[in-house]
Structure 1
Amino acid sequence: MTTEQSDRPTPPTPASPGPAVRLITVSAAYGAGGSVVAPALAERLGLPFLQRVTTSEGGVAEPGPCDEQLSEEEVKVTPVHRLLAHFTQAMPAGPTQSPPSTHHQDEHLRGHGETGIRRLLAGGGGVILGRAGAVVLGKDRGFHVRLDGPAARRAAQGAVIEGISAEQARERLRAADKARDAYVRRLYRCDPADLALYHLMIDSTAMPLDTVIELIITAARAHEAPVPERSETH
């Protein structure tokens, strides 16, 4: 080796992407950008994506766009709407037919929403949007994120994401927040905005959603990294 060669600086080693992240749940209020952030996380991390609860649970990765607003299928499985539908259907049948018990309906709805989560876990992990994923899995499984923000800013961001007017966005915010809150409270007896459920809470109206995605990836990798042992000094 010549002196010239030995003095040449060694090329830097590419930085490691960090520990593999296998399971992330994203809970998001309307306009907080869950419909943008969650599928982007799945794409960046090379994981299957499971969107908000739908009436067709055919597979682990459910293709198609997500919605900030309540989708038609999401409305059908919201507890309040399901109860009203059952009572309406039962009325013409007379006294010989009655709607299913509340307990039976709750069990059905929980099973419906959790089917996709179980399939995702069986496949090795993924990114889950909604479905009370943090509640179903608990703090010991996965990395749980909550996206929220002031209602006025969420409505403004929702209008941009969905390409609608500010008034339409405010109406959708009221409907989506009420229904998604009812889903978690009714089926799991807890508040979806309870910070104790999550590892990371972000006001996703206070920064670009691209930054939100990077923050989640960084935090999720740090969560997966082993905690170094402290050396004891005497």
Structure 2
Amino acid sequence: MSARVVTISATYGTGGSTVGPAVAERLGLRFVDRAVPELVAGEIGCTLEEALAHDGRAESGIGRILAGAARLPTVALGMDVYIPDHGFVPPEEFVERTESVITRMADRGGAVLLGRAAAVVLAGREDALHVRLDGPRERRLARAIAAEPPELSEASGPSEASSRRARATGPPDRDVERMLDDNDRARTAYVKHFYGVDPADPRLYHLVIDATRLPASATADLIVGAARAF
């Protein structure tokens, strides 16, 4: 049978936000990315910015959360967002709600899910294909520099992208390099902290692709072919 759920773990610079929608369209599935923090925010009753700050792909948010800074009465979480002392929600609750949303999305007709440790959350599903997009750091950096606006949006959303551009003080290439390293650390920290595994471990996935060696269309072809033969 064909996989009805595809999870994609994409490191910065591998074009996950391009490949994911292409795979979803060809398989006739929903593409789920920004919808996850939006639904989590709605369920908890916080702002979208607060949910994104707790998200595994928000480099400035998760790093500070894991360092315990969010437990202070008032703390900035990047994106000019503040959590008041009476409204703090533990990161664990955001993670639990995120897992619930991911599971519901998979149960309701299937989906292509980008990031948020979905391969770990849905590890036991027989109908789920788990994919990792990665590549050498220098090649990921070169691709991110060549496609800076899309990668900024993929990393943290439009508001964070604008904020980071406004704060940038160094050469553009150095800023992109900093974002790549920040995202790598944040995504790894998120998965290791909450699930105790390394997101780069190939045993978590059915298919690992060096997406820096292929155009996005060819990467999508590989994933679609694997999903249909799954």
Q: TM-score, normalised by structure 1?
A: 0.69
The one of 144, 147, 151 aligned to 2:130:
144
**Contact between 1:120 and 1:126, CA under 8 Å: does it hold in 2?**
yes
Structure 1 alignment gaps of length 5 or more: 1-18, 60-70, 91-96, 224-234
- Which aligned segments of 4 or more residues in structure 1 are displaced greater than 4 angstroms? 97-100
Output the aligned Cα RMSD: 2.9
**Contact between 1:54 and 1:73, CA under 8 Å: does it hold in 2?**
no
**Contact between 2:14 and 2:134, CA under 8 Å: does it hold in 1?**
yes
The one of 107, 120, 145 aligned to 1:159:
145
Determine whether 1:197 maps to 2:183.
no
Tell me the secondary structure at the aligned position of residue 64 of structure 2.
helix
Deviation of 1:219 (Å): 1.5
Which residue number corresponds to residue 33 of structure 1?
A: 15
Question: What does 1:73-222 align with in structure 2 at a 5 Å threshold?
Answer: 74-78=52-56, 79-82=62-65, 83-89=68-74, 105-138=90-123, 140-141=125-126, 142-163=128-149, 165-222=172-229
**Contact between 1:106 and 1:187, CA under 8 Å: does it hold in 2?**
no
Q: TM-score, normalised by structure 2?
A: 0.71
Q: Which moved more, 1:195-204 or 1:111-120?
A: 111-120
**Contact between 1:139 and 1:198, CA under 8 Å: does it hold in 2?**
no
**Contact between 2:2 and 2:227, CA under 8 Å: does it hold in 1?**
no
CA distance in 2, matches of 1:157, 1:139: 33
Q: Residues 21-58 of structure 1: CA distance to partner in whole angstroms, max 9, x if unpaired? A: 31100001100111111111111111111116854217
For residues 77 and 218 of structure 1, do their structure 2 counterparts lie closer, same or farther at Cα, with a shift above 3 Å needed?
Answer: closer
CA distance in 1, matches of 2:37, 2:71: 16
Q: Which structure is larger by alpha-carbon Rg, 1 or 2?
A: 1
The one-letter code sitting in structure 2 at the alignment partner of 1:160 is: A
Structure 2 alignment gaps of length 5 or more: 42-48, 57-61, 76-84, 153-171
**Contact between 1:51 and 1:130, CA under 8 Å: does it hold in 2?**
yes
Determine whether 1:51 maps to 2:33.
yes
* Number of residue pairs matched by the alignment: 185
Deviation of 1:110 (Å): 1.8
Seq. identity, %: 40
**Contact between 2:2 and 2:228, CA under 8 Å: does it hold in 1?**
yes
